[in-house]
Amino acid sequence: KQEKEQQEQIQTQSTENTEIEDGEDAKTDTETEETDEAGDIQKELAKIEEQSIGYENADWSSMGQADMYQLWDDELNSLWSRLSDELDAETKAKVLEEQRAWIKQKEARVKGAGMEVNGGSLQPQLENTVAEEITRARAYILAGYLADVRKESFSIPLEIQKSIDADNLSLDDVF
């Protein structure tokens, strides 16, 4: 019962966040998605950040890292779909190659995070935490690409940029 109440509370918060300031009715999910596609990428990711914070503040028994990972994975897939539709063939091939390399890196890091506890009860939580962090950072990278294609201004928050930079260290950067 508590889980259901918390889910309803999050749905209510989500609906409240989509209301228009001048008092019009709340937008449906489809209308919001269509507006976001035509709107500012920076604002879109800010909304996802707000939802992510809601998950962080939720009771772990009802929501957790898996939900946060799914939130960012859904956003990443949405960004990828729009980006791949808007890129020219040559650039799309380069970004696709980069995306495939990123997926391999993510899978290896997620697996490594779970190995730290040798299959213990914390394994899913650690794996989902790493997956969420990596996917969140990648979503910002793809959002930046999409903003560039659309000639929108876009900046990656410093916290995310530090994470991206740390993930992309080469041996020359380390030594």
Q: Residue 11: what are its φ and ψ, rounded to 5°? A: -65, -40
Question: How confident is the model over 126-157, as pLDDT tens digits?
Answer: 898 899 999 999 999 999 999 999 999 999 99
Residues in the chain: 175
Rounded Cα–Cα distance for residues 52 and 170 (Å): 30
Q: What is the pLDDT of residue 146?
A: 96
Specify whether the CB–CB gap between 120 and 136 falls below 8 A: no
Q: Is 44 exposed, middle or buried (0-12, 13-18, 19+ CB in 10 A)?
A: buried
Rounded Cα–Cα distance for residues 97 and 49 (Å): 27
Return per-residue pLDDT of the chain as tens, 175 residues. Answer: 444 443 344 333 333 332 323 333 333 343 334 434 445 999 999 999 988 887 766 655 555 567 888 999 999 999 999 999 999 999 999 999 999 999 999 999 999 988 878 878 888 888 988 999 999 999 999 999 999 999 999 999 999 999 888 877 544 443 3
